[in-house]
Structure 1
Amino acid sequence: MPPAPHGLDDLGFMEREGSLARVPDAFGPVVTAARDRLPHAVGARLHSAYLFGSIPRGTARVGRSDLDLLVALREEPADADREAVRALGEALDKEFPQIDGVGTLLYSRARLLSDLERYDMGWFVACLCTPLLGDDLAGCLPRYRPDSRLARETNGDLARHLPRWRERIESAPDAEARRRLVRFMSRHLVRTGFTLVMPRWHGWTSDLREMAEVFGAYYPTRAAQMRTAAEYGQEPAGDPDVLRTYVDDLGPWLAGEYARVHGAKAPRPED
């Protein structure tokens, strides 16, 4: 049996995970630096900024976890904005050894609140992001349940990702680049596997190992693969065979099953 469902309130709506109060002491200086420097990096175009991932959940590991940020702008992101947050991320990564990289998502306020993104990035802001700066957009968004519509619009695009993943694998210059790809793809596949079964489980978790266990209870013949992916999501290795397995076996199977169960995600302009 899978673990007991959780992550919902008494009415069955998803609870927001993470808070600044849960940030481990070791990561406090990193979060403070990001909060202080973002307004200078982006300027008056900044609407709001959020933390997500293991740091605001309180599960980050020193030297292993990355700093994840989402930045909402008053207008559509421009190349100058992307360069500014890239440079800020590089500076933070270099200055603070307790993090292993910085990842920043950059969106306009209008995009995050759009009908197209309501059950993808809108849900992400409302449920998985912790406010860091500015006015919280969650107040402009609905409450969410772990249903098939949410599953489809969050992870129903794996089939469109796979060709790009193959290109990234082919162009990876060294073992460190492959290690980062293993971490990224492992996490993506585990989260996709979990959201495939999330409506049946009727709960939410961001813990990779628990996601894999929940998935495995419904797809036992793929359980071992997903548990292994969860481990690589935490402790990646630059093994090209792992990457080939993802794009030649687990990924295509998961994309097909996802489309069968939930349908395909609505295309985005960048697609």
Structure 2
Amino acid sequence: MAGTVHHRGLDAQGYIEREGSLGRIPPAFRPAVAAARDRLLDVYGERLNSAYLCGSIPRGTARVGRSDLDLLVVTRQEPTEEDRDAARSLGEALDKEFPEIDGVGTLLYGRARLLSEPETYDMGWFVACLCTPLLGEDLAEDLPRYRPDSLLARETNGDLALLLPRWRDRIAASGDTDEARRPLVRFMSRHLVRTGFTLVMPRWNGWTSDLGEMAEAFAAYYPERAEALREAAELGHEPTGDARVLRSYVDDLGPWLAEEYARVHGVKTARPAG
């Protein structure tokens, strides 16, 4: 049975508070962030509408040599292949130059798409609640406020059933080494923990980005699956390259979670092609 109802991460009116700030960036990561900011301006120039920091660095929980630098880049028009190539090149250069970070992950969106109705409770929420403004216009000003309700749960993570076949393809295409599988374990572990958390988020009544706390929130409602999600939370921080873990994700935990998610919240609204 679930324990006490939580309200962590919400303001006095019950809306999810924006997490992270530039002031929380640990000193060790500030040079990498400053370089990213300057080079984004150089690379995109007038095409750049906004840029954001996401993840553990603006939350102040990043670990030197272990955490990646997560960026969201918003272009004034829909991004081109040239824009995507530039993002990859910039990420690779930053990763090589700054040993404090373990990779760079960059999301690239056009302004109109990000503010479109289909994205309001997915990428719109991500910007408004999980992203820290770094450059340009803050699009959160054009977005609603968000509660930890079933609509938000459905539109953020209600597509796991569609993702699982792609995950299987990625696993099949990965190299047969621990080193090749480790990034997949990290990515899929985190995704499953977040999906498990948002499954119970409306009942838990709060928000957290801490993987361990997400797993414990889930455990209060699904004790029979608690250990699997706790293990996934650990692997999200310290991934192994165990092929058995990946198989269990796409053959057991993932399918179960997708079915239960659809039962409780429904399936994510289909997005326009392209």
TM-score, normalized by length of structure 2? Answer: 0.97
Paired with 2:202 and 2:96, the residues of 1 have a C-alpha distance of: 41
Aligned pairs, number:
271
- Report the alpha carbon displacement of residue 4 of structure 1 after superposing the two structures with TM: 3.4
Q: Which residue of structure 2 lines up, in the alignment, with residue 110 of structure 1?
A: 112
> Identity over aligned residues, as a percent?
73
Map 1:2-151 onto structure 2 (within 5 A): 4-151=6-153
Q: Is the 8 A contact 1:3 1:214 kept in 2?
A: no
- Which of 165, 183, 191 is the equivalent residue of 1:163? 165
Residue segments in structure 2 that go unaligned for 5+ positions in a row: none
Q: Is the 8 A contact 2:5 2:205 kept in 1?
A: no
Q: Which residue of structure 1 lines up, in the alignment, with residue 259 of structure 2?
A: 256
Paired with 1:115 and 1:13, the residues of 2 have a C-alpha distance of: 20
Q: Is the 8 A contact 2:5 2:204 kept in 1?
A: no
Q: Which residue of structure 1 lines up, in the alignment, with residue 208 of structure 2?
A: 205
Give the letter aligned to residue 248 of structure 1: D
Paired with 1:3 and 1:249, the residues of 2 have a C-alpha distance of: 29
TM-score, normalized by length of structure 1? Answer: 0.98
- Report the alpha carbon displacement of residue 41 of structure 1 after superposing the two structures with TM: 1.5
Paired with 2:107 and 2:195, the residues of 1 have a C-alpha distance of: 19
1:78–1:10 Cα change, 3 Å? same
Give the letter aligned to residue 100 of structure 2: Q
Q: Is the 8 A contact 1:3 1:213 kept in 2?
A: no
Give the letter aligned to residue 19 of structure 1: S
- Report the alpha carbon displacement of residue 39 of structure 1 after superposing the two structures with TM: 1.4
Give the letter aligned to residue 78 of structure 1: T
Q: Is the 8 A contact 1:50 1:69 kept in 2?
A: yes
What is the RMSD of the two structures over their aligned residues, measured on CA atoms? 1.1
Give the letter aligned to residue 170 of structure 1: A
| Per-residue deviation, residues 223-260 of structure 1 (Å, max 9, x unmatched) | 00000000000000111100000000000000000000
- Which of 244, 266, 269 is the equivalent residue of 1:266? 269
Give the letter aligned to residue 165 of structure 1: W
- Report the alpha carbon displacement of residue 44 of structure 1 after superposing the two structures with TM: 1.5
- Which of 183, 186, 189 is the equivalent residue of 1:183? 186
Paired with 1:60 and 1:122, the residues of 2 have a C-alpha distance of: 24
Paired with 2:179 and 2:83, the residues of 1 have a C-alpha distance of: 27
Q: Is the 8 A contact 2:29 2:57 kept in 1?
A: yes
